Amino acid sequence: MGGRLQPLFVASLLLVAAEQTRSLAAPNHHFYCNTGYNVQDCDVQLKQLAGGLAGMDLAPLGDWTWILVRSRDWKPILRRVGRDPDSPAFTILEKRQTFLEEALFNASPERARTLLEKWRIPLDQILMFAVAHELGHALCQETDESRARSHAAQLRSTGSVTCLGRRENDEL
């Protein structure tokens, strides 16, 4: 990844997420914003992410890192790694990391239009749609997009997922 991460690890954010998580064994999550984020925007968006994660059983995930990337840096990163630049999130299973584009929290009008056209999800739901999808990959070590979508739907409706057969891959 082309920039440095600002270590905006928010201890109070982890406490909130841990207290609200269904599981008794709260996972160890690390939250960062890529270089260029201002501290206030980073803090607001990380709290929004933690709030969405709070209703899900993430104990099976274990140690995980969440990284927010500014929208202006997003497409060049995805093009460099040969991924769809219109995708607002991706997960690297091997490194136990999920990357989320800033547009999931605060999209410019142009990016909002692209997200709506491509994904056909209302903007007020796209963050949790993307997070649940990436968790479908992460929780089940799933590389198949169709199965990840199915796991994501289960997560969004029940807060947990039952994985059928684990598969591994370096990057999703």
Bridge partner residues of 100 (DSSP): 68, 89
**169 located within any domain:** no
**121 located within any domain:** yes
**165 located within any domain:** no
Is pLDDT at 27 greater than 60 in this prediction?
no
**166 located within any domain:** no
Domain around 55: 5-158
**108 located within any domain:** yes
**167 located within any domain:** no
Identify the CATH number of the domain in which residue 26 sits: 3.40.390
Sign of the torsion formed by the C-alpha atoms of 39, 44, 45 and 49: positive
Is pLDDT at 102 greater than 70 in this prediction?
yes
Q: pLDDT tens digits, residue range 107-155?
A: 889 989 988 888 898 888 899 999 999 999 999 998 888 888 889 888 8
Q: Are 5 and 35 a contacting pair, CB within 8 Å?
A: yes
**170 located within any domain:** no
Average pLDDT over residues 91-118: 91
**91 located within any domain:** yes
Q: pLDDT tens digits, residue range 10-24?
A: 333 333 333 333 333
| Three-point CA angle 129, 39, 108, nearest 5° | 45
The four Cα atoms 145, 149, 150, 154 give a dihedral, to 10 degrees, of 150
Tell me how many domains the chain contains: 1
